[in-house]
Amino acid sequence: MRIPEERAFALLKRYGIPVVPQVFCSSESSVSAALRKIGFPCVMKAVGPLHKTDVGGVVTDVTGEEEALKVFRKLLKIPDCEKVLVQKQLRGVELMVGGVRDGTFGSFVSFGLGGIYVEVLSDVSFRLCPVTESDAETMIKETAAWKILSGARGRKYPVEELKRIIVSASNIMVRSRLAEMDVNPLIATEKGFFAADVRMRR
């Protein structure tokens, strides 16, 4: 059973996983209020369709209120769209943290490079839950993401925070008894890591 997106984001926050500044909107007035809170540029996403990008349900680089209201009306016309998610547009390295429950071995947590090419890159490390911060550190270092996060091109990322996020993802998988979880992208910035998309299923 798929968990509604709004509840999935709330679960991430409950376990201490930072989320991109965002507001779920169901009316034009709520979009205007969201823009005052979030600012520009922003991203707007259709809430409801399973594969947003396949149906044109993600619009990036929205830079003005008039444009945002037009995008809002357009997204609501997409089949199964229930509301629109307005998010602050962050720039950074796209990672993924996820998990899956196996009928024989139990729950696993995963980490690797994310974004739309995650399945092509296959740069993912897995561990059986529950994981420790030491396990999480090993997972990070097993992937190509480590070269980026550890200081490539002079940029440093707070890897200690990322380790805690992986542990939190493991705890969510176990305590919430999820069948599947996918946080992709988890955007890495020099100030921290922020979940921009999440899918969960029981």
Q: Are residues 74 and 145 in the same domain?
A: no
Q: Are residues 58 and 135 in the same domain?
A: no
pLDDT tens for each residue of 122-153:
789 999 999 999 999 999 999 989 988 987 66
Last residue of a domain, one of 36, 64, 88: 88
Q: What pLDDT, on a 0 to 100 scale, did the predictor assign at position 117? A: 54
Q: What pLDDT, on a 0 to 100 scale, did the predictor assign at position 187? A: 97
Q: What pLDDT, on a 0 to 100 scale, did the predictor assign at position 120? A: 55
Last residue of a domain, one of 88, 114, 132: 88
Q: What pLDDT, on a 0 to 100 scale, did the predictor assign at position 114? A: 87
Residue 188: pLDDT over 80? yes
Q: Are residues 135 and 115 in the same domain?
A: yes
Integer Cα distance of 77 and 24 in angstroms: 16
* Average pLDDT, rounded, for the chain: 93
Residue 118: pLDDT over 70? no
Q: Are residues 180 and 119 in the same domain?
A: yes
Q: Are residues 77 and 103 in the same domain?
A: no
Q: Are residues 128 and 52 in the same domain?
A: no
Integer Cα distance of 56 and 114 in angstroms: 20
The band of 115, judged by pLDDT with boundaries at 50, 70 and 90, is: confident
Residue 119: pLDDT over 70? no
Contact 115, 92 (CB under 8 A): no
Q: What is the CATH number of the domain that holds 98?
A: 3.30.470.20
Q: Are residues 159 and 183 in the same domain?
A: yes
Q: What is the DSSP string of 107-155?
A: EEEEEEE-STTHHHH--EEEEESS--HHHHHHHHHTSTHHHHHTTGGG-
Quote the number of domains for the chain: 2
pLDDT tens for each residue of 95-109:
999 999 998 999 999
Last residue of a domain, one of 64, 88, 112: 88
pLDDT tens for each residue of 37-95:
999 999 999 998 777 878 889 999 999 999 999 999 999 999 999 999 999 999 999 99
Across-strand partners of 96?
112
Q: Which domain holds residue 82?
A: 5-12+19-88
Q: Are residues 62 and 116 in the same domain?
A: no
Residue 169 tokens read as 């993802």
Integer Cα distance of 153 and 83 in angstroms: 39
Q: What is the model's pTM?
A: 0.92
